[in-house]
Structure 1
Amino acid sequence: MAFLRGLAALALAALIGVGMFLWLTAPAKLPRETRQALSAAAPDTARGERIFLAAGCASCHAAPEAEGDAKLVLAGGMRFPSDFGTFIAPNISPSAQGIGGWTTDDLALALTRGVSPEGRHYYPAFPYTSYIRMEPADIADLKAFLDTLPASEIPSQPHEVGFPFNIRRSLGIWKRMFLRDGWVVADAPAEGRYLVEALGHCGECHTPRNALGATDRSRWLAGAPNPGGEGRIPGITPAQLDWSEDDIAYYLESGFTPDFDSVGGHMAFIVENYGQLPAEDRAAVAAYLKTVPAAD
């Protein structure tokens, strides 16, 4: 009898444990106020292209080695190595293999909560930890522009992630710990802050990460090891970057440093995007970077 009571207690504890895990890891839903704002938006395709460039969508989701107009075919396939495995950018073109069947609400849920329309967690290699700060109207504009791009039927490739990181449900706990929508530099100029902390997601590369892969905000934009294992991504706070605002803006437009060196690596994609944006956007980024607290 004591054995049966003990077995029942263990079964009850296991059920409670499973229930707690499912509750803690449940994918978030889109807040009602966000859904209302999206439904009230009047999508602007031209503005959507500007958001597309600032957010660097093609920089990750174009096919590897794509050039020119081919970069607008968001077939995916680019590889991003990390300490947790290699993540492969998916197809996000307007096709059945991509996001052709998504609503604007679906896109907003993915961008701001890291959740698929089917309710699966996305890995934070997709920078929803930055996109969570996007304005609903900008998401609606972006969706309108994405729908105009060429479709690709190339299937998305699975990520190369081993146990235990392949247990996606556990990302719900990670999000509870690290997914925040507040600004990092609260008193920075609003225009540049939005471009850097939200759309441009600069902190995803230029900020070091903790053991669980979350950005260390106490060292915001202070530089980080290259996830690919070669070299280091430079810091861009005033402590590491002594360029003037004009120098920064010109670099984002041309790819040339004040010492006449040229941009390289993945940053070349960023410069290609920002070179197509209005000059005031590049100036806003430069002004923001000069206000970031210096960090080692």
Structure 2
Amino acid sequence: MPWLKKLVGAIVILGGVGAVAGWVGSAPVRLDRETLAKLGPGDAARGKRIFFAGGCTSCHAKPGSQGDARLQLAGGLELKTPFGTFVPPNISQDAKDGIGAWSVEDLANAMLKGVSPSGRHFYPAFPYASYARMNPVDIGDLYAFLKTLPAVAGKAPANSLGFPFNIRRGIGLWKLLYLGDQPVVPFPAATPDPVMAGRYLVEGPGHCGECHTPRDLAGGTKKNVWLAGAVAAEGSGVVPNITSGEGGIGDWSEADIANYLETGFTPDFDSVGGAMVDVQRNMAELAPQDRAAIAAYLKAIPAHPNGYPARKRAN
């Protein structure tokens, strides 16, 4: 049957074209020269602010670290998710086991493009989908601050992922869908400066949406319900709604939010718990105007009802 041979041939050709297109489309993409030129010389004092805004210690410090030990970025925390177990690596200044040998360009490509110095995709458990919205100057400053931190020997354990999530090249296709540098929430030109400053901190280095926003089946954040709360990536708990919608923080004032970020106490004098403990510690390191800007942004964004299924009460 000549027509059958032609059909099979056409399917093979189309499959081959699709495979080539997928391979090309999934290739790691590095930053262009124009962006790299914006990194600047780096200022460690400014970089300290970005370090704490970015929550680097929450994932990269040894679990349970306190005080100055939180600046020893040896990695090792296990993040158990439906896709497998991710282990944040050593990002100390150890040249062998950490990132001490990285250039500022290497750090920028990692944070803004999710690409390693060797040209491999990082998994988006590293929240570069948010960091991609950062100003390159802040990356240069962060690099300068990281250079002031101690070197810690020892590699963190490897990720533990099953098929197909262990195929890194597939992350390139995920990036085509979810990686971009545009803000999530648009605001008019006359928006007050604190709100805009808060948008940068929350949507960029603070990467709040990575935990507080529901995700789709591919693991991308659902931006139409931004910060509406979500089922926790680990375990069976939930991450709260931090919009002013039903179930959220609509009854909190800007001052309440800023105070919570500084002290860890809610308006009802409850205290911060769970994974938010480390986040709040980082937020407490920021200047008061930064916490006020975050609060102004959270009160200005669209309100959404809780983004996670209702929980049944125990009898």
1:290 alignment partner, SS class:
helix
Instruction: Note the 1:214-229 alignment, pairs <5 A.
Output: 214-229=220-235
Name which of 230, 234, 237 aligns with 2:236: 230
Asked if 1:244 is matched to 2:250, the reply is no
Counterpart for residue 284 of structure 2? 275
**Is the counterpart of residue 209 in structure 1 residue 215 in structure 2?**
yes
* C-alpha distance in structure 2 between counterparts of 1:137 and 1:118, whole Å: 23
Aligned with 2:201 (options 177, 187, 195): 195
Deviation at 1:21, TM superposition (A): 2.3
Q: CA deviation at 1:57?
A: 0.5
Distance in structure 2 (CA, Å) of the matches to 1:10 and 1:263: 57
User: Which residue of the partner structure matches residue 26 of structure 1?
Assistant: 27
Is residue 293 of structure 1 aligned with residue 294 of structure 2? no
Q: Is the counterpart of residue 60 in structure 1 residue 59 in structure 2?
A: yes
Q: Which 10-residue stretch deviates more, 264-273 or 16-25?
A: 16-25
Are residues 1:255 and 2:264 paired? yes
Give the C-alpha shift of residue 8 in structure 1.
8.2
Q: Which amino acid aligns with 1:138?
A: D
Structure 1 segments of 4 or more deviating over 4 A?
Answer: 2-15
Structure 2 CA distance, aligned partners of 1:219 and 1:15?
Answer: 38
Report the aligned-residue RMSD.
Answer: 1.8
2:302 counterpart letter in structure 1: P
Counterpart CA distance in 2 for 1:268 and 1:87 is 20
In structure 2, C-alpha distance between the alignment counterparts of 1:216 and 1:64, rounded to whole Å: 29
Q: Deviations over 1:144-167 (max 9, x none)?
A: 110111111111321111001111
- How big is each residue's C-alpha offset from its partner over 1:161-208, in whole Å with a ceiling of 9 and x where there is no partner? 100111110111111011121111111621100110001000000000
CA offsets 1:110-143 (integer angstroms, 9 cap, x no match): 0011110111111111100100011111100000
Q: Secondary structure of 1:170's match?
A: helix
Shifted more, 134-143 versus 188-197: the winner is: 188-197
Q: Partner of 1:81: helix, strand, or coil?
A: strand
TM-score, length of structure 2 as denominator length? 0.89
Displacement of 1:83 after TM fit? 1.2
The CA deviation string for residues 276-295 of structure 1, in whole angstroms up to 9 with x for no partner, is 11100000000000001011
From the superposition, tell whether residues 251 and 6 of structure 1 become closer, same or farther in structure 2 (CA, over 3 Å). Answer: closer
Amino acid at match of 1:210: D
Uncovered stretches (5+) of structure 2, i.e. residues with no partner: 306-315
Q: Which amino acid aligns with 2:292?
A: A
Distance in 2 (alpha carbons) for counterparts of 1:212 and 1:9: 30
- The 1:151/1:291 distance shift into structure 2, 3 A limit, reads same
CA distance in 2: counterparts of 1:134 and 1:8, whole angstroms: 48
Tell me the alpha carbon deviations over residues 197-240 of structure 1, each in whole angstroms, 9 at most, x when there is no partner: 00100000000000100000011000000111222110000111
Task: Report the alpha carbon displacement of residue 13 of structure 1 after superposing the two structures with TM.
Answer: 5.5
* 1:153 equivalent in structure 2: 153
Shift of 1:11: 7.0
Q: Distance in 2 between matches of 1:230 and 1:13?
A: 43
- Taking the aligned partners of 1:294 and 1:165, their CA distance within structure 2 comes to 34
- The change in CA–CA distance for 1:232 and 1:7 in structure 2 (over 3 A counts) is closer
The corresponding residue for 1:78 is 77
Q: Provide the aligned length of Structure 1 versus Structure 2.
A: 293
Q: Structure 1: how far apart are the matches of 2:185 and 2:210? A: 15
Is 1:37 paired with 2:46?
no
One-letter code of the match for 2:295?
A
* Deviation digits for residues 243-269 of structure 1 (CA, Å, limit 9, x no counterpart): 000000000000000111000111111
Q: Are the structure 2 counterparts of residues 6 and 249 from structure 1 closer, same or farther at C-alpha, using a change threshold of 3 Å?
A: closer
Shift of 1:18: 3.6
Aligned residue identity for 1:124: P
CA distance in 2 between partners of 1:219 and 1:56 (Å):
23
> Which one-letter code corresponds to 1:201 in the other structure?
H
Q: Distance in 1 between matches of 2:196 and 2:6?
A: 62
**Is the deviation greater in 147-156 or in 49-58?**
147-156
